[in-house]
Amino acid sequence: MNNLINLAKYIPTPEATLTVAYTPIRLSMPGRQPLELRLTAPAMGSNLPIQLLSHGYGPSNYIPSKDGYAPLVQFWAERGFVVIQPTHASSRVGGLLSNSSGAPFFWRERVEEMRAILDQLPEIERQAPAVAGRMDHARIGAVGHSFGGHTVGLLLGAQVDGEDFSDPRISAGVLLTTPGRGGKDMTPESAARFPFFDVDFSTLSKRSLVVCGDMDNPHFTTRGPEWHADAFHDAPGVVAMLMMHGVGHGLGGIAALDAKETETEAPDVLEATRRLTLAWLQSALGADEGAWPRACLALESEAALLATVTEKQPLPPGRSARLKPKGL
């Protein structure tokens, strides 16, 4: 029961179940300090799909770490997913020192940290005995917010200067307000500071969802909110886009409640974001193939004010995909 939710309640979602959490889980990393994780999972059940969550850069000290994003993490875990959150090298509170190679953004190290999680799933199960033998290592998704979207985009197949960072163990992804095209699409100052944002999305082929906020006005570019939708238009694997209404980069509060990252606190839109991303992940990873279609139906009726979903329609070879908007 949440008295702040009005329209999002019409988007169907499973009932919450009891969860367990382990933190800090520590994984060894060559030549550096251990990688610290939080794992949140259903207390019961087996063959649980896995979600890796890559945090953003963010202005807060603690939210860009394993200790942020509780509004998303808890929601997904209560409804059937094992969620694993690293404290990336770029984290202010637990990352690498500012004089380390790759500072301050550590974009390559972030990708390697996500790979390390996949490499060491048995060790994670050893340190989290309540989930040992209950995770489905064949059903792995990855979600990234903001700079985390850049990290996850590379793991899904996007490239920088022709370099391939993809990981075949990841089956599907969600890009939450991820950076758009780099280079000439950014301001000169941003292009010089973030050359690694010059990403080629055309090689991103894993089934993915892009989520944007229609009030998200990035300072990296003069193109406005539509910059965050570039992966949807350029990547063949991104088959759907959610445009959340009335919110900006924080999508109503996904990183934390009452925080700097939540520039527009919108409980109803936050709830819609949680329910819709869960439905996408359920369908994409085979937990409930009908979850996404049912959620989209709600955007054609009672919940239409909260978001618009646009899906690519497959066409015969040699023809461009058409876009089919649903909702408002």
Distance of CA 309 to the CA centre of its chain: 17
309-318 CB contacts, 8 Å cutoff, 24+ apart: 309/240, 309/241, 309/242, 309/243, 309/276, 310/232, 310/240, 310/241, 310/243, 311/239, 311/240, 311/241, 312/238, 312/239, 312/240
Q: Name the band, by pLDDT with cuts 50, 70 and 90, for residue 314.
A: low
Average the pLDDT over 169-192 and give the result: 97
User: What is the per-residue DSSP string for 312-323?
Assistant: EEP--TTSPPEE
Asked whether the predicted pLDDT for residue 102 surpasses 70, the reply is yes
Q: Using one digit for the tens of pLDDT, what is the confidence trace for 3-45?
A: 999 999 999 999 999 999 999 999 999 999 999 999 999 999 9
Average the pLDDT over 89-101 and give the result: 95
At residue 305, the pLDDT reads 98
Q: What is the mean pLDDT of the chain?
A: 94
Reported as half-sphere exposure (CB side, CA atoms, 13 A), residue 77 has a value of 24
Q: Name the band, by pLDDT with cuts 50, 70 and 90, for residue 323.
A: low
At residue 264, the pLDDT reads 87
Q: Name the band, by pLDDT with cuts 50, 70 and 90, for residue 257.
A: confident
Collect all residues with Cβ–Cβ distance below 8 Å to 189 and sequence separation of at least 6: none
Asked whether the predicted pLDDT for residue 273 surpasses 60, the reply is yes
The values of phi and psi at residue 176, to 5°, are -100, 115
The H or E element spanning position 174 is strand 172-176
Cα–Cα distance for residue pair 296/78, rounded to 1 Å: 21
Nearest CA among 196, 220, 190 for reference residue 109: 196
Collect all residues with Cβ–Cβ distance below 8 Å to 6 and sequence separation of at least 6: 268
Residue range 8-326, CATH number: 3.40.50.1820
Report the predicted TM-score, pTM, of the whole model to 2 decimal places.
Answer: 0.94
Average the pLDDT over 266-288 and give the result: 97
Asked whether the predicted pLDDT for residue 321 surpasses 50, the reply is no
Q: For strands 35-42 and 19-27, give the pairing.
A: antiparallel
Contact 203, 216 (CB under 8 A): no
Q: Which amino acid is at 85?
A: Q
Q: For strands 307-313 and 207-213, give the pairing.
A: unpaired
Q: Name the band, by pLDDT with cuts 50, 70 and 90, for residue 288.
A: very high
The answer to whether the Cα torsion of 219, 224, 225, 229 is positive or negative is: negative
Q: Name the band, by pLDDT with cuts 50, 70 and 90, for residue 325.
A: low
Q: Using one digit for the tens of pLDDT, what is the confidence trace for 200-241?
A: 999 999 999 999 999 999 999 999 999 999 999 999 999 999
User: What is the per-residue DSSP string for 109-163?
Assistant: HHHHHHHHHHHTHHHHHHH-GGGTTTEEEEEEEEEEETHHHHHHHHHHT-EETTE
At residue 1, the pLDDT reads 78
Give the start-to-end residue ranges of the domains of the chain.
8-326
Distance of CA 267 to the CA centre of its chain: 19
Asked whether the predicted pLDDT for residue 316 surpasses 60, the reply is no
